[in-house]
Amino acid sequence: MSRPLKGQSVAVIGLGSSGVAAAKLALEKGGNVYVSEVREDKEACASASQLREIGIEVELGPHVQRKIAEAGTIVVSPGIPPSAKVLKELADNGLSTISEPEFAFRFFNGPLIAVTGTNGKTTTAMLIAQFLKADGQDIAVGGNIGGGLAPPASELAISGNSPSWYVLELSSFQLSGIVDLKPAIGVFTNLAPDHLDRYDSVDSYYRDKSRIFDNADEKSRWVLNGDDSELESLVQGIPGERFYFSEEYADRAGSYLESGVLTVELTGSKYRIAGLQDVTLVGRHNIQNVLAAALTAKLAGTKQSSISAGLKEFSGLPHRTEKIAENNKITWVNDSKATNVTATINGITSFDSNLLVLLGGQDKGEDFCRLVKPLKENDSKVLAYGESGIRLYEQLKDEVRVRLVKGSFEDLIRSAIDWVESGDTVLLSPACPSFDMFKDYEHRGERFRHLVTKFLESSDG
């Protein structure tokens, strides 16, 4: 599958971790590499210096359209929105671009498991990798995972290894720029509206998600959420063999719950993986992630015992319904990764009652009224904050107990401490991106952890 570049020109737009990895990969494969980045901050300068030292041309500041257009291959980092002027000009001139995982895939030396969906992608991808590793298989895992948990796809290609499986998490932004990328096993966790700040409609977001199927053929295998009607309509007519995961048994289900036991059933054989009591991950939604990962691992040849062992060792991931503190019968949970309404609904329904939910952040236009039903069912209180705080307050105030916090994130935590009662769980599950106050959801989650620890230590003193 590897395609040496042999002096071909490659332009990389964007100097985040994906862009840096793609530039290094292009250089290693013999390309003449040019990188363009509009940012001129300290981080961009440091990355530029690193690449220049190994012979890569980097320009910071306004994109030079002519130099980018001269390249035979143009790789775009996922952080560059499709509305960006540089991409529109390239398209107007008939020039195509590709995403960083597409570029990396051209140099992979093994079969690919690709994981996408609106929510649960990272947990599912990391569970798959855990199960395969427990089976003794050589795994290369990365892609959209971020947070220091795994590298960009291009870093996996740089190594030159030939793993048993590549496991990639792919976002809609990355899927929008694929040409040849073809999973041997494709996993679709679920489908719900998201990223409406970047897409002009839900349909356009769904179209990019569906591009994971672009190169499907009769040998493709798809692991799909059998409980998701939106996804079912998306996969009509897609070639390949389909396998479904579902919380309840159905005739077509490949993995499901049977009398409280996570079960995989393939080719007439039934594998009992673990009881619900053995799943340490918080939240009902994580049961679906485990079912998807176990089914995928079994399709990849993993033994039942390895999946069971891997599940016992998997303790969850940061910023995803992560319990960070418990004090005076009050539990604090960091679900900062919940950057859309559906993810927050999953977070809320992970608990039975007595929630104080912290909602807010960058407003990307989702309908917050969808939160009313789960909030009422869990007898939840809400603190609304950030750029979206006023709209959240207005949409929720007639249905649930909600207060608006107009100050800083620290003011939000102080307000939570003032309002929380013994027996409550304080859940940071914002339903919004973090960019109004923070660098990313990880920065928000770490700040939450720091402030909670600080205030609890102060109260103990």
pLDDT in tens, 387-437: 999 999 999 999 999 999 999 999 999 999 999 999 999 999 999 999 999
- Per-residue pLDDT band at 176 (split at 50, 70, 90): very high
Look at residues 290, 313, 336 and tell me which one is the last residue of a structural domain: 313
Bridge partner list, 165? 139
Amino acid identity of residue 307, one-letter, is I
Q: Are residues 305 and 275 in the same domain?
A: yes
DSSP state of 194: -
Strands 355-360 and 425-428: parallel
Give the pLDDT score at 3: 64
Terminal CA-to-CA distance of the chain, rounded, Å?
A: 61
Give the pLDDT score at 194: 87
Q: Are 445 and 430 in contact (CB under 8 A)?
A: no
Strands 322-327 and 330-334: antiparallel
Closest CA to 254 of 276, 269, 275, 240: 269
Number of Cβ within 10 Å of residue 405's Cβ equals: 20
Q: Are 11 and 67 in contact (CB under 8 A)?
A: yes
Q: Are residues 332 and 254 in the same domain?
A: no
In a domain, 31, yes or no: yes
Q: Dihedral sign, CA of 331, 332, 336, 340?
A: positive
Amino acid identity of residue 238, one-letter, is I
Number of Cβ within 10 Å of residue 49's Cβ equals: 10
DSSP state of 249: -
| Number of domains composing the chain | 3
Task: Give the global pTM.
Answer: 0.91
SS3 annotation, 127-146: HHHHHHHHCCCCEEEEECCC
- Per-residue pLDDT band at 2 (split at 50, 70, 90): low
Q: Are residues 134 and 77 in the same domain?
A: no
Region for residue 33 given its phi and psi (left: phi exceeds 0; alpha: psi -120 to 50; beta: otherwise) = beta
Q: Are residues 106 and 50 in the same domain?
A: no
In a domain, 1, yes or no: no
Q: Are residues 106 and 91 in the same domain?
A: no
In a domain, 433, yes or no: yes
Query: pLDDT digits over 216-266, tens only?
Result: 999 999 999 999 999 999 999 999 999 999 998 777 879 999 999 999 999
Give the pLDDT score at 340: 94
Residues with Cβ within 8 Å of 66's Cβ and at least 6 positions away in sequence, in order, are none
Look at residues 31, 64, 96 and tell me which one is the last residue of a structural domain: 96
Segment (H or E) for 267:
none
How far is 181 from 166, CA to CA, in rounded Å?
12
Query: pLDDT digits over 258-286, tens only?
Result: 999 999 999 889 999 999 998 989 888 89
Q: Are residues 279 and 360 in the same domain?
A: no
CA distances from 415 to 246, 321, 326, 360, 427 (A): 39, 21, 18, 14, 13
pLDDT at 68 over 60: yes
Q: With b meaning 16 or more CB within 10 Å and e meaning fewer, what string describes 331-352? A: bbbbbbbbbbbbbbbbbbebbe
Q: Are residues 91 and 109 in the same domain?
A: no
- Per-residue pLDDT band at 200 (split at 50, 70, 90): confident
Give the pLDDT score at 197: 80
**Domain CATH code at residue 155:** 3.40.1190.10
- What six digits make up the tokens of 109? 């030396």
CA distances from 35 to 86, 88, 144, 376, 412 (A): 13, 18, 20, 51, 40
**Domain CATH code at residue 62:** 3.40.50.720
- State phi, psi for 396 to the nearest 5 degrees: -110, -20
**Domain CATH code at residue 368:** 3.90.190.20
pLDDT at 146 over 80: no
Give the pLDDT score at 461: 47
- Per-residue pLDDT band at 4 (split at 50, 70, 90): confident
Q: Are 386 and 437 in contact (CB under 8 A)?
A: yes
Q: Are residues 192 and 301 in the same domain?
A: yes
Q: Are residues 446 and 326 in the same domain?
A: yes
In a domain, 111, yes or no: yes
How far is 330 from 452, CA to CA, in rounded Å?
12
Domain range holding 45?
9-96
Closest CA to 195 of 316, 366, 5: 366
Look at residues 313, 336, 368 and tell me which one is the last residue of a structural domain: 313
In a domain, 290, yes or no: yes
User: How high does pLDDT run on average in the chain?
Assistant: 94
DSSP state of 329: T
- As separate numbers, helices (DSSP H) first and strands (DSSP E) second, the chain gives 17, 20
Q: Are residues 360 and 394 in the same domain?
A: yes
In a domain, 56, yes or no: yes
Q: Are 168 and 125 in contact (CB under 8 A)?
A: yes
Q: Are residues 447 and 326 in the same domain?
A: yes
DSSP state of 154: H
Closest CA to 324 of 336, 312, 313, 339: 336
- In the chain, the percentage of residues whose pLDDT exceeds 90 is 87
In a domain, 4, yes or no: no
Q: Are 46 and 39 in contact (CB under 8 A)?
A: no
Q: Are residues 255 and 208 in the same domain?
A: yes
pLDDT at 1 over 70: no
- Per-residue pLDDT band at 199 (split at 50, 70, 90): confident
Average pLDDT over residues 182-206: 92
Query: pLDDT digits over 39-63, tens only?
Result: 999 999 999 999 999 999 999 999 9
